Structure formats: structure tokens, C-alpha cells
Amino acid sequence: MEPALIISIISITLTGLFGLWNLRITVESHKMKKDEYFREKKKYLQEEFDKRPKLEVVKYKKTMDKVGYSQNNHDIDVLVLPILDYKIIDRNRIIFSYDEKTLKKDEWVNIQFTLKNEGKSPIKELYFAGNSPQNTSVFDVKNDEYKLFIEHGALEYRVASYDEIKPQQEISIRINFHKDLVFGKMISAEASLWLIDTYGNIWEQPLFFHQGKIYDSKQKTYKEFTEYTNWKSIIKCFHNPELW
């Protein structure tokens, strides 16, 4: 075999070996970077979870044997009432029917919560939303606007508070019902509290208002938040019940 041919074969072999070695280094480097990325992401998510806001029950009062409504300074004051019927007008409008006696405040009963932010992050927005969009509405009763909504067959599904809730700060929530139209579930949570912290993260806490319990906060996406609390998303389900 000619020396030049031998040298050429050796050169090709060494080049191939070097290429394989370089490829292995590149693959291992990519794997290390990928592993580092997932480690950092996991660390970031853990840190976000550790500093999340979370509301815990400090006081719970259920007043079902005493009727009447008094104007108090609750952070969130809602009326939960059943939907009796609905009529689809067009693709953008539905008229909902409610019992007229619902408007009689002197026949209301209520449940009251005092909650404390036991988390490490402030809450910049708090939403109370019902978990039965098929058959209930939730109205803000801190002013009289809700009366027009009920009389004109509107649908409301969440009530908001935009006052910042700092760690260790307490808030109050009152849930009102007409004494003859008290809504409740046997097993699952009747409502949820949706929290948006100062970092823009969204958290949900299921609220069992007849049992006086609240579950720990769980992170949610903006899409989930709007799907479960925005009346525009819920209206679509009345048009197409399969979406429920």
C-alpha cells in the first residue's frame, strides 16, 4: 500500500473520530444546558409557589335563622340567586329570569367569612365567582345597580375587589341569599376565590361557603380564569350546552 494512501486513510479516520468526539461534546453540552434550564425552571416555579398568596379562614358565621340585610363595610358583598329560566334573543344576547322576591332585602339570609392572607405575596385583585354557571348568578350588592341587572335579566358571574391585600391582612366576604332560595352543593365547592398577585400570577381557591372551608391556592392560567369567571365565556355555553 502506498504511503500517501495510508496517510490519507489515517487522516480520514482521525477526522471521523474527531467529528464523532466533537458531536458527543456538542450533544452532552446541549443536554447539560437543557438539564440546567429545567432545573432553573423547576426552581423558579417552586419559588413562585412558596411565595404565593393564600387566604385562610379566620372567622366564619352562618346566619340562616335570622332574616334581614344591614349595610356593612364588607370587602366583597354578593347575592347568589338561582336562574329560573332563560330566553335566547340572538347570538349575543340572552334574557335570564329570576324570582322577583329576590329583591326583598328584608328576606335575605347570609354567610360571612373573615379571611387572612397567609401567603408571602400581596393580592392586587380578588374575584368571587360561583361554580354553578348553569343555574346561578352572582351579583355585587354594595350598590343598587344589581337591581337593574336582575330586573332586566342580565347575567353576572363574578364580583371583584381591587384593594390590595397585604400578607397577614384580613378581608371580609358576605354571601347573601333569599331565605327561600338558598343555594348549596353537597360535595363540591359552591364558589371560588380567584387571586391575582403583584407579579401577575393567577391563583384559585375553592370556597365551600356552607361548610366554612377554603382549599389552598393553586396556580391557574389567564385562559382558565376567563373561562370560569367571564360572562362572555359562559354565555357561549348557554348557546351550546355541550360546552358545559
Domain shared by 154 and 220, yes or no: yes
What value does the mean pLDDT of the chain take? 85
**Phi and psi of 110, rounded to 5°?**
-150, 165
240 or 104: which leads in pLDDT = 104
- Model confidence at 142, pLDDT cuts 50, 70, 90, reads very high
Domain shared by 144 and 134, yes or no: yes
Domain shared by 21 and 58, yes or no: no
Choose among 84, 86, 87: nearest CA to 183.
84
Question: What pLDDT, on a 0 to 100 scale, did the predictor assign at position 65?
Answer: 86
Domain shared by 115 and 229, yes or no: yes
Domain shared by 148 and 193, yes or no: yes
Q: What is the mean pLDDT of residues 161-173?
A: 96
Question: What pLDDT, on a 0 to 100 scale, did the predictor assign at position 41?
Answer: 45
220 or 6: which leads in pLDDT = 220
Domain shared by 119 and 162, yes or no: yes
Domain shared by 62 and 106, yes or no: yes
Domain shared by 29 and 144, yes or no: no
Question: What pLDDT, on a 0 to 100 scale, did the predictor assign at position 183?
Answer: 84
SS3 assignment for 73-135? CCCEEEEEEECCEEEEEECCEEEEECCHHHHCHHHEEEEEEEEEECCCCCEEEEEEEECCCCC
Q: Which three cell numbers stand for residue 148?
A: 337593574
Domain boundary residue, one of 9, 34, 50: 50
- pLDDT reading at 85 higher than 70: yes
Cα distance between residue 218 and residue 121, in whole Å: 14
Question: Which range scores top for mean pLDDT: 34-43, 91-100, 198-207?
Answer: 198-207
Q: What is the mean pLDDT of residues 156-185?
A: 93
Mapped onto helix, strand or coil, the DSSP state of residue 25 is helix
Domain shared by 34 and 113, yes or no: no
Are 231 and 83 in contact by the 8 Å Cβ rule? The answer is: no
Cα distance between residue 159 and residue 140, in whole Å: 6
Residue 154: HSE in the Cβ half-sphere, 13 Å Cα cutoff: 15
Question: What pLDDT, on a 0 to 100 scale, did the predictor assign at position 91?
Answer: 77
Question: What pLDDT, on a 0 to 100 scale, did the predictor assign at position 132?
Answer: 87
Domain shared by 92 and 14, yes or no: no
- pLDDT reading at 148 higher than 90: yes
Question: What pLDDT, on a 0 to 100 scale, did the predictor assign at position 228?
Answer: 82
Domain shared by 38 and 68, yes or no: no
Question: What pLDDT, on a 0 to 100 scale, did the predictor assign at position 37?
Answer: 45
Question: What pLDDT, on a 0 to 100 scale, did the predictor assign at position 8?
Answer: 64
What global pTM score does this model have? 0.78
Domain tally, the chain: 2
C-alpha pair distances (Å), 239 with each of 87, 92, 122: 10, 9, 38
- Model confidence at 23, pLDDT cuts 50, 70, 90, reads low
Q: Domain residues for 11? A: 1-50
